[in-house]
Amino acid sequence: MANILLVDDLRSFKPSVLETLDREEPNTLVRVCRSSGSAVEELAKDEREWDQIWLDHDLGIIDGEDDTTMSVVDYLIFRVRIGDPVPIKNFIIHSANPVGVVNIARALDSIGASSVVVNPTDFFEVAS
């Protein structure tokens, strides 16, 4: 069983991607967080090991403020620095914001976490 966290305000995995994930690892669990706050809550409350965390940079506007995944990345960096890292095997960045992609990748690199950047259109459809 694989545990996957998707942090994206609009996108959901294409059915074909979910089928492939489940074929590779039966009973794959995908949690979807539509805001940085809900993603941090999920990571803080759930001590599971995450096989993959998919990060979009721009997460819309909440309470008149831009919400970005950098809050999630900052939380993960904080956890590493206090000696209690969230166990995550693979980071996948799927943002259409090129500056955001660089910012996420650099921040993850600062804690020794490598990431893969993918084209969002290959994996996602806009959630309805």
> From CA 94, how far away is CA 108, in angstroms rounded?
14
Average pLDDT for the chain: 93
pLDDT of residue 21: 85
What is the domain count for the chain?
1
The better pLDDT of the pair 33, 127 is held by 33
Q: What is the CATH number of the domain that holds 69?
A: 3.40.50
pLDDT of residue 128: 61
In the chain, the percentage of residues whose pLDDT exceeds 70 is: 98
Using an 8 Å Cβ cutoff, are 28 and 52 in contact?
no
Confidence (pTM): 0.92
Question: 67 lies in which domain range?
Answer: 3-126
Q: What is the pLDDT of residues 73-125, one digit of tens each?
A: 999 999 999 999 999 999 999 999 999 999 999 999 999 998 999 999 899 99
Using an 8 Å Cβ cutoff, are 4 and 54 in contact?
yes
| Per-residue pLDDT at 62 exceeds 90 | no
